[in-house]
Amino acid sequence: MPQPHQYSQKLLMRFEKALHSNAIACAPVELIQGDFLHCHPYLQDALRNAGLVYINNPKFEPSMNLGILQLLCPLLPKSAKLICFESLIGTKGYWDNCMVYKSPLVIEKNAVSWHGNGVILHILEKL
């Protein structure tokens, strides 16, 4: 989606400027526009070296969550963390051979939600 990608690029510049002005180090961040399930080989290489993958999935259908797991499980290195808004536990029969559910993380109101309520982030770890 071109428009959200453009918004994200602007937010990333603000984020990096804020980090720099506060002398906070951060790994390089690159935004890639495209269909995640048909990812470019460059993204596959990045996933093979990822320590953390964040998925903003509150509106995804179960089939999309399953597709994401089927893509990530063979690529992510052991002990990589997967953080998501909606639990991927509903994709039983696949994730349990690849990921272990670590814990929920309760986030305070207005921290990361559009609706102003607190949210729970789900944390999984690659086996």
- 4-49 confidence digits (pLDDT tens): 888 889 989 998 999 899 999 888 887 878 888 887 788 888 899 9
- Give yes or no for a contact between 46 and 32, defined as CB atoms under 8 angstroms apart: no
Find all residues with CB under 8 Å of 81, minimum gap 6, and list them: 51, 52, 53, 102, 123, 124, 125, 126
Range of the domain at 78: 50-126
Domain containing residue 118: CATH number: 3.40.50.150
The answer to whether position 72 is within a domain reads yes
Tell me the pLDDT tens digit for each residue of 57-99: 888 888 888 888 888 889 999 999 988 887 775 555 556 678 8
In a domain? residue 28: no
| Count of the separate structural domains present in the chain | 1
